Structure 1
Amino acid sequence: MKSFVHRMQSSQGKLVLKDFNIEDEAGELKGVDLLTGSFTLRQIKAATNNFAPDNKIGEGGFGPVYKGHMADGTVVAVKQLSSKSKQGNREFVNEIGMISALQHPNLVKLHGCCIEGNQLLLIYEYMENNSLARALFGPEAHRLKLDWPTRHRICVGIARGLAYLHEESRLKIVHRDIKATNVLLDKDLNPKISDFGLAKLDEEDNTHISTRVAGTFGYMAPEYAMRGYLTDKADVYSFGIVALEIVSGRSNSSCKPKEDIFYLLDWALILKAQGNLMELVDKRLGSNFDKEQVMVMINVALLCTDVSSTSRPSMSSVVSMLEGRADVQDFVPDSSVVSNIDKTKSEAIRNYYEFSEEQSMDGCQTQSMSIDGPYTGSSTSAADLYPINLDSDYLNSRV
């Protein structure tokens, strides 16, 4: 089996990743230095009861994900490369190289990998409460009742994880696919960022990476989606979208067939212009929330989604603002952006967000994509850890 694997080595005191080819005809990784564990296929089969359907907990473009119980009692999530995955090999080795060098309470832990025969497997810590997307706007039976303190803590945790990736870790990394399905929740509802299959090294300070566009439509920063101009501020933009979702309990984009697509960010900008930002708050919270904290989170989210990448704050600044250790500057929306939302569309957006039934992610496009050039509407790859519960209406609708 031929593949590309990322190897870590030191260069003038700085960790970098190097690409090189391997030949794995004996079923082993050869010449690969990884800071992660290695498991045998026998161990994984035993843990998952030979990949039994009852242990299957999700499906992404990368392939199926299984719950497993290791011999020492550790509960794990096993992500299996699908033979149909076009981007899987690249994302598999990319994820090993990236996440094996990262340790942070708000990043999902990679226990190890298994490369044996024709199997490519990643073994993660098991996250009892699945994804933030399912908790907020998944099928009603699987949504969690997240009170405001929990939502605020989740938002701060995501921000801390991104601040670590951008500014504190040995490797400066741009995740490229921050979204609610890639934020997992443990048994205590602590958030952990997952899926580093599309992550890129940010090796040069104050410069951008010119790269093919990869990510999820609706979460990608405009300069990146349109021009492939990538900096850590692309993650900041994506975080801003997720923060709006946490406040509102709604997915950023509507995606019902034969209907116009509406974006939560547009709705937030309309409410900002009208001075009615509190209308954005999830009705399920009732009046049980800290109004000052809510306004801080909304305004921080709007700062993060500024059309100008240079105007967006760093993630360390975001953490400080969310924690009340720094003032939040007033966000002044680009007048051209708001003016482009004409009166008719504005009214349609208002009707959708105010009067539509509770929104779920049923039928929504939440998968990652990897494309050359501007987005054209097709999803060619995904590597969500376990974005969908098998008995959800969403999965059934795709059969």
Structure 2
Amino acid sequence: MEGKERLLTDLSSRTDEFVEGEIDQDPELPQIDFGSILLATNNFSESNKLGKGGFGIVYKGKLSGGQEIAVKRLVRGSGQGLEEFKNEVILIAKLQHRNFVRLLGCCIHGEEKLLVYEYMPNKSLDFLLFDPTQKTKLDWGKRFNIIKGIARALLYLHQDSRLRIIHRDLKASNVLLDEEMNPKVSDFGLARTFGGNQDEANTDRVVGTYGYMSPEYAMEGLYSVKSDVYSYGVLLLEIVSGFRNSSFPLVMDSPNLLAYAWQLWNEGNAEDYVDQSIAGSCARAEVVRSIHVGLLCVQDSPSDRPAMSSVVFMLENEEATISAAPKQPMFTIRRNQNPHTGDSRDDNIEMRSYNNVTITTAEGR
């Protein structure tokens, strides 16, 4: 119990530090009994496994009252996972938005540390978007709604929450879909907060995902709201095209997804960029506007990228004219396919710089 009390005390003090003025006592997050979670997940059975999350394995469960849940189980002995666990409790428990996944409670039992979320019946965006047999469920109307919902979630983090919050790991697998295909941003384990007039920060430990990392973050360890804007732009272009940026097919005669989008937009053929499985359901004006916004977001220089307030305005106001022309994106991080498996799933990349020597490791998520 001593370890549990120490962790809860740590969570309480860090919550006061990050979300000043919003609480006076311990985090208002229910403690869920470990036995109830065991029953709900059938003792963490393999058949209940949904996938691997940011710091552990995610299981589907059903509470005694019938409510379906998703349980994220921290990998034992993971120091980084413990920090992510704290971040999730601190941030998600206090940030309320219709486009965030809802954290229902947590459980600390011996070495077991678990987070309990609302269950999303349509799983994650990447599960549908990049599957040839599933992507037709996402017609253009649903995709455009997802694009706008994610934008509103980031606007809340960057501008409307009490402190400015940088997500730092926005990607298709971290966007969950409810029963009506509404997007819910999840996985705040790598998120960081800014206070006062702080605009950017630097780290010598760059952790992110192939294909979504901005140039200044991947190369210099600099992150800001504009890093999230870049990741959002990549995600938007993936949603429109149905292609994954980190495994863009070379047969398309472009080095990467961003270059392909810019080429077609620059030639006046932006509608050819749309996922062919939904081409017939598209509203051309919305498609062209979305691609334009996405390309503005993935420009190499942070100062060239729009703020999320401008992104939301451009997407939601059909009559507004977008005067800015995007510059050709030059930056990309491509990973090598495994020559034996051909596996091209988006992997995490971690860079640590010590004395100007960079060590890079890739780790599946």
Helix, strand or coil at the partner of 2:116: strand
Q: CA 1:251–1:380 in 2, change beyond 3 Å: closer, same or farther?
A: closer
The answer to whether the 8 A contact 1:38-1:112 is kept is yes
CA distance in 1, matches of 2:248, 2:277: 22
Residue 198 of structure 1 corresponds to which residue in structure 2?
Answer: 190
Amino acid at match of 2:14: R
CA shift at 1:367, angstroms? 3.6
CA distance in 2, matches of 1:256, 1:83: 38
Q: CA 1:379–1:74 in 2, change beyond 3 Å: closer, same or farther?
A: same
- 1:182-209 superposed Cα distances (whole Å, 9 cap, x missing partner): 0000111000000000000022335211
Q: Does 1:163 align with 2:155?
A: yes
Q: CA 1:329–1:255 in 2, change beyond 3 Å: closer, same or farther?
A: closer
Structure 1 residues 156-235: aligned runs within 5 Å: 156-211=148-203, 212-235=205-228
The answer to whether the 8 A contact 1:217-1:375 is kept is no
CA distance in 1, matches of 2:77, 2:345: 19
Structure 1 residues 256-295: aligned runs within 5 Å: 262-295=255-288
The answer to whether the 8 A contact 1:76-1:124 is kept is yes
**Of 322, 329, 343, the match for 2:323:** 329
CA distance in 1, matches of 2:248, 2:295: 22
CA shift at 1:51, angstroms? 1.2
- 1:156-193 superposed Cα distances (whole Å, 9 cap, x missing partner): 00001110111111232100001101000011100000
Q: CA 1:161–1:221 in 2, change beyond 3 Å: closer, same or farther?
A: same
The answer to whether the 8 A contact 2:254-2:260 is kept is no
Mean Cα deviation higher: 76-85 or 177-186: 76-85
- 1:26-75 superposed Cα distances (whole Å, 9 cap, x missing partner): xxxxxx82231111111111111211222111123522211111122221
CA distance in 2, matches of 1:376, 1:262: 25
Q: Does 1:7 align with 2:14?
A: yes
CA shift at 1:214, angstroms? 1.8
Residue 46 of structure 1 corresponds to which residue in structure 2?
Answer: 39
CA distance in 1, matches of 2:211, 2:279: 28
Helix, strand or coil at the partner of 1:245: helix
Structure 1 residues 76-87: aligned runs within 5 Å: 76-83=69-76, 85=78, 87=80
**Could you state the TM-score of these two structures normalised by the residue count of structure 1?**
0.78
Amino acid at match of 1:222: P
Residue 68 of structure 1 corresponds to which residue in structure 2?
Answer: 61
Between the two structures, name the one with larger relative contact order (CA 8 Å, sep ≥ 6). 1
CA shift at 1:279, angstroms? 1.9
Q: CA 1:255–1:89 in 2, change beyond 3 Å: closer, same or farther?
A: farther
CA shift at 1:7, angstroms? 2.2
Amino acid at match of 2:197: D
Identical counterparts, % of pairs: 43
CA distance in 1, matches of 2:226, 2:284: 27
Structure 1 residues 234-249: aligned runs within 5 Å: 234-249=227-242
Q: CA 1:363–1:135 in 2, change beyond 3 Å: closer, same or farther?
A: same
CA distance in 2, matches of 1:290, 1:376: 46
The answer to whether the 8 A contact 1:253-1:261 is kept is no
Structure 1 residues 103-142: aligned runs within 5 Å: 103-138=96-131, 140-142=132-134
Q: Does 1:364 align with 2:347?
A: no
Aligned residues: 341
Helix, strand or coil at the partner of 1:371: strand
CA shift at 1:83, angstroms? 2.5
- 1:280-315 superposed Cα distances (whole Å, 9 cap, x missing partner): 111111332100000000000011111111121111
Q: CA 1:79–1:7 in 2, change beyond 3 Å: closer, same or farther?
A: same
Helix, strand or coil at the partner of 1:307: coil
The answer to whether the 8 A contact 1:174-1:201 is kept is yes
CA shift at 1:87, angstroms? 2.0
Uncovered stretches (5+) of structure 1, i.e. residues with no partner: 18-31, 342-361, 383-399
Mean Cα deviation higher: 54-63 or 208-217: 54-63
Q: CA 1:372–1:109 in 2, change beyond 3 Å: closer, same or farther?
A: same
The answer to whether the 8 A contact 1:221-1:238 is kept is yes
**Could you state the TM-score of these two structures normalised by the residue count of structure 2?**
0.85
Q: CA 1:95–1:153 in 2, change beyond 3 Å: closer, same or farther?
A: same
Mean Cα deviation higher: 82-91 or 307-316: 82-91
- 1:205-253 superposed Cα distances (whole Å, 9 cap, x missing partner): 3521112312112101111111111111110110000100111011112
Amino acid at match of 1:275: G
- 1:132-154 superposed Cα distances (whole Å, 9 cap, x missing partner): 1111103x444452111111001
RMSD over equivalenced CA pairs, Å: 2.8
The answer to whether the 8 A contact 2:135-2:277 is kept is no
